[in-house]
Amino acid sequence: MNTAIDPTVLKRANAWLDGNFDKETIAMVREMMEKNPAELTDAFYRDLEFGTGGLRGIMGAGTNRMNKYTVGMATQGLANYLLKMFPEVHPIQAAISFDSRNNSSFFAKITAEVFAANGFRVFLFDDIRPTPELSFAIRHLKCQTGVMLTASHNPKEYNGYKAYWDDGAQMIGPHDVNVTDEVQKITSVEDVRWTGNPENIIEIGKEVDEAYLGRVLELSLSPELIRLQKNLKIVYTPLHGCGRKMVPETLKRFGFENVTTVKEQMVADGNFPTVRSPNPEEQDAMTLALEKAREIDADLVMATDPDADRVGIALKNAKGEFILLNGNQTASLLFYYILYRWKEKKMLTGNEYIVSTIVTTELLKGISVKFSVGYFECLTGFKFIADVIRKHEGKMKYIVGGEESFGYLIGDFVRDKDAVSACALLAEAAAWMASQEKSLFDLLIRIYQELGFYKEHLISVTKKGKTGAEEIQNMMVDYRQDPPTHINSSKVILVRDYLVLREKDLITGKEKVIDLPKSNVLQFILEDGSRISVRPSGTEPKIKFYFSVKENLGGKEEYDHKDFILTKKISDIIASMKLK
């Protein structure tokens, strides 16, 4: 059987059989070697690397898996880098949190022990906490780093390791690359300081909760309207994750008194037994919440992912049917409400701004123009939104940022997406509309009438394992070497290549530089105004295709017809690109 295994993979696997690994790990490697060479190859063909969200992978034995050894080696590499970067800080401080996933608390303990053994003071949460609270804790406790053990919305077999810098944001270049280099220098588990200085680990909990919730409460823009609409019917589910305490408590403190939770999903469980995948983007994950919403005739339905940094919502349309909104629609509602209230309360001074990403709806830019606030666009990933905040700190006032993948951040005391505060402000927006005897769906129609009916759609093509990664890379190469001239019978007039940072006008032949960091993303702008973006995921074995089309909307009565036209246009674009 060994003859079918790549010699390099076999050498890496044998090192785990002969090294200082526990008996269970050795047994798992031996079983793969004898019975499943394909799985062995995927487990050992590479090391887990820092992507857009740090480490993320399937749990199990191997260098390309999430396990105590890869977590320990990553932590040692991170510790080595921090010791170089903060030579005058004694002790270096780290905050660590974890979600409800299987092994998250175990990996958090390993991370804390390795940091402590390196002389760090470690603040370890006493139980599961949301990612945004970890980001807040780094700044609140004046830490130099932080780690969140989570794989966000991935299926149950995954776990992950989000590494943060001293501003509470996930690391970007050069730090992410430099940490990866330090991790690669850890060639053996013997290089890791596994134990020592247990007194350096300090348990934290309620005090940080209260400080964080206090800052979230300061974001409220309409407390007087909530008092009038306190019985607004809200259904909430944490999808077995760590939003189960913080989101209901936040809604309560905002003043909402009629919040119904989905009891089956209020249980923290890393097997996510009631859903196929704990992803609020997917209708399956919202099934139980929607059943409860229909039962009580709810006004708003909200679901957060396992680490409570992303939120999906459902609301009733003009026919009284519950519909799921995509991340672009939710962002549009949230941004419009917040900027409208800022303007109404005379809080806008002309020095404020919002942030979005290159694959998120252009409607957000239209909203910024309407309210005369600055607009910045960055690469996909909230660490880039945090970087915009960092660069403008002390110069301009950040209000809100978001991306199409259901992540939003109001205020800058957190530097990662925050579903806890987003849930509160979305509920507040619903109360604001209810005070006008209207709904959030009415607000969405109003936005479309004022600024254009934008419709977006995302397709993710999954390509697993080593061969899948190669297929994804080849697809990007093909698009660059032989780009389409027409898509859905509409001429491609503009191509943006974020890998070479060039935008080319295919009509005039003129090129201009894109002022962003390099990223493996392509965008095709069509003559009819449609936009197609192609991007390999940085955290999953997928290549993503983002579609955006637009129509004018004259009135509410046109909505269904225009929605049909836009849906068909997206379907025709997908067919013309032979993606289905």
In order of 79, 121, 129, 166, the CA distances from 146 in angstroms are 11, 11, 13, 8
Peptide bond into 91 cis (omega under 30): yes
When divided into structural domains, the chain yields a total of 4
| Location of structure tokens 């836009």 | 566
In a domain, 214, yes or no: no
Rounded to 5 degrees, what angle do the CA atoms 138, 143, 148 make? Answer: 45
- pLDDT score of 469: 82
- pLDDT score of 170: 94
Give the CATH number, domain containing residue 344: 3.40.120.10
- Helix extents (H) in 155-302: 175-184, 206-217, 223-228, 243-254, 287-296
- pLDDT score of 466: 73
Mark which of 401, 419, 451 sits at the end of a domain.
451
- Which candidate, 539, 529, 507, places its Cα nearest to that of 573? 529
Same domain, 17 and 65: no
- pLDDT score of 183: 84
In a domain, 423, yes or no: yes
In a domain, 124, yes or no: yes
In a domain, 215, yes or no: no
Give the CATH number, domain containing residue 517: 3.30.310
In a domain, 218, yes or no: no
In a domain, 441, yes or no: yes
Same domain, 296 and 407: yes
Residue ranges, the chain, pLDDT below 70: 1-3, 50-53, 538-540, 580
Mark which of 395, 429, 451 sits at the end of a domain.
451
Residue 574 parent element (H or E):
helix 559-576
- Which candidate, 54, 52, 53, 21, places its Cα nearest to that of 44? 21
State the amino acid at position 273 in one-letter form.
Answer: P
In a domain, 209, yes or no: no
In a domain, 211, yes or no: no
Same domain, 302 and 410: yes
State the amino acid at position 495 in one-letter form.
Answer: V
- Is residue 524 within 8 A of residue 483, CB to CB? The reply is yes
Same domain, 39 and 80: no
Strand, helix or coil for residue 525: strand
Same domain, 232 and 344: yes
> Measured between alpha carbons, how far is 239 from 285 in angstroms, rounded to an integer?
7
- pLDDT score of 2: 47
Please report how the helices 440-451 and 419-434 are oriented relative to each other, as an axis angle in degrees rounded to 10: 90
> Measured between alpha carbons, how far is 223 from 433 in angstroms, rounded to an integer?
13
Same domain, 342 and 404: yes
End-to-end Cα separation, the chain, in angstroms:
37
> Measured between alpha carbons, how far is 258 from 293 in angstroms, rounded to an integer?
12
Same domain, 40 and 55: no
Same domain, 551 and 466: yes
Same domain, 407 and 297: yes
Same domain, 542 and 439: no
Distant-in-sequence, close-in-space partners of 249: CB < 8 Å, separation ≥ 6? 213
State the amino acid at position 510 in one-letter form.
Answer: K
Same domain, 430 and 517: no
- pLDDT score of 295: 98
Same domain, 442 and 506: no
Q: Give the DSSP letter of residue 563.
A: H
What's the half-sphere exposure (Cβ side, CA atoms, 13 Å) at 95? 28
- pLDDT score of 55: 87
User: Which residue numbers are catalytic?
Assistant: 152
Domain with 263, as residue range(s), is 225-451
